[in-house]
Amino acid sequence: MLEYYNYIKSLHLIFVITWFAGLFYIPRLFIYQIEAFQKPSPDKEILGDQLKLMAKRLWFIITWPSAILATLFAIWLLILMPAWLQQPWMHVKLGFVILLFAYHLKCNHIYTQLQNDVIKWSSNQMRMWNEGSTIILFSVIFLVIVRDAVNWIYGVIGIISLAVLLMVGIKFYKRVRDKNPNA
């Protein structure tokens, strides 16, 4: 079975990439839905219906299947390489995977609310939420690539710095957008 390892790993990575693509884009659609909800009729209904359809297709045709397939291929890899479960970096990675599933499930909750025209987030709050998957992606990639060479203090400082930079960027964009609504 080890002769298929590279194929299984490739499929795992492909579905991780498509899963993240869905997680990067769905909050953008949420932002557009929230903003469309504030428009006057008939724009509100026309945009809202189109954005709901786009979100539904993205969520159920790309994001959920990718999450499931990435997970199945990951389990298969762990069955092939059980020694990885003894590695501390893998424990941390699995912690981030649990965090990613929590993020995914919260996106599912927001998706359901928006499909029912329940708006509980502002577009700016959703922009900040959108960066959650970016932080998880950076964490996992650096963890997997550098593994045991990671100095945890620098890693934590790096992730916190990334989060701060993303939040500052969102605040800056909000100012630019407030000055020029077409930006």
- Binding residues for heme are 12, 93
Pick from 86, 102, 99, 84: nearest CA to 144: 84
Pick from 140, 127, 63, 128: nearest CA to 98: 140
Pick from 65, 1, 59: nearest CA to 29: 59
Measured between alpha carbons, how far is 167 from 150 in angstroms, rounded to an integer? 25
CB-CB contact of 60 with 104 (8 Å): no
Known binding-site residue numbers: 12, 93
